Amino acid sequence: MSERYMEVVTTPVFLEKRLSGNEPPRCVDGRPSDDSEQGPQMLGGSINVILLECIYNGRSLNEQNAVDDIENLHEMEFNTGAHRGQHAHGEASDCGFADRMRDILRVAVEKRDLITKHLLSIYDQNKESFPPLPFNELMEKAYEKIEAYSPDEIKIKGEELVALVEKTDSKVETVRDDHTEEAAFVNLVEGTTLDTSGLNQEGTQVFNLDIFEVAKHAKASGVPEDFSIPASLILYAATEIVLVEDKGKPALPVEIHF
Ligand SMILES: [Zn+2]
């Protein structure tokens, strides 16, 4: 086996970093950033939580509701954050999740069977590390709300939404370069995140979702974890399809970090 082949099949190692709990959330984006506190990784940073709250309660994602969600998080003593990228222009923030939210929701519904099968196979492969879960029931319930939520309820997205989050006392960081993510991690270790900057120094990029950190912020927003966890995994899978596979790149391996 040549060394080159070895490189292709090796999944990057998860570089775990402990969180202080005060860092503002950042995106699952794996690109380098020069101004990041390396906070917990969520879809679009705190935008993940805003969208979950709106879907869960059937509310429009408009300016007022987004500001309410951010201010509520501050009252609950959570910092908030989002990001832009070097390719931001006009209405595009270059945060794929913020820019493509409507498409991501649409794909989550259109590809329900595929996403459910994919998540079930990941769960099955790692079953011994999880407590017994009513997997199908959790997915069913999460999808009930996701399918009832029209993408047209997203009234504000992209740069407009990132700028609004920024204006509402949040940290907005900037990532640079192009996407070259090699894998999509789901981190199950509470109070930790991925040291993306360490990985970037090794020339590697990966996506990472700190699922229990999302659950913590969502809970402070009134969204229980039996919704926030499956719904975020569904949206993460849909994001990967929209931002990677639909752009003609091969599907990324999903890795669970315990
Ligand atoms: Zn992003």
Taking the chain (258 residues) in runs of 10, the rounded mean pLDDT of each run is 51 93 97 96 98 98 98 98 97 98 98 96 88 91 98 98 98 96 95 97 96 97 97 98 94 92
225 within a domain of the structure (yes/no): yes
For residue 99, the CA-to-ligand 1 centroid distance in Å is 9
For residue 28, the CA-to-ligand 1 centroid distance in Å is 6
The reported pLDDT for the residue numbered 37 is 96
19 within a domain of the structure (yes/no): no
For residue 125, the CA-to-ligand 1 centroid distance in Å is 28
For residue 199, the CA-to-ligand 1 centroid distance in Å is 17
For residue 254, the CA-to-ligand 1 centroid distance in Å is 18
The reported pLDDT for the residue numbered 9 is 56
The reported pLDDT for the residue numbered 6 is 47
The reported pLDDT for the residue numbered 139 is 97
For residue 21, the CA-to-ligand 1 centroid distance in Å is 20
Number of structural domains (the chain) is 1
CA dihedral 98, 82, 254, 144 (to 10 degrees): -50
For residue 91, the CA-to-ligand 1 centroid distance in Å is 14
123 within a domain of the structure (yes/no): yes
The domain in which residue 145 lies consists of 43-177+212-252
162 within a domain of the structure (yes/no): yes
- CA–CA separation, 240 and 208 (whole Å): 11
For residue 83, the CA-to-ligand 1 centroid distance in Å is 6
For residue 8, the CA-to-ligand 1 centroid distance in Å is 25
The reported pLDDT for the residue numbered 143 is 98
For residue 50, the CA-to-ligand 1 centroid distance in Å is 14
For residue 205, the CA-to-ligand 1 centroid distance in Å is 14
116 within a domain of the structure (yes/no): yes
Nearest to 193 by CA among 208, 215, 171: 208
Beta strands 192-194 and 16-18 are: antiparallel
For residue 186, the CA-to-ligand 1 centroid distance in Å is 16
50 within a domain of the structure (yes/no): yes
37 within a domain of the structure (yes/no): no
CB atoms inside a 10 Å sphere around CB 39: 25
The reported pLDDT for the residue numbered 2 is 45
137 within a domain of the structure (yes/no): yes
The reported pLDDT for the residue numbered 130 is 81
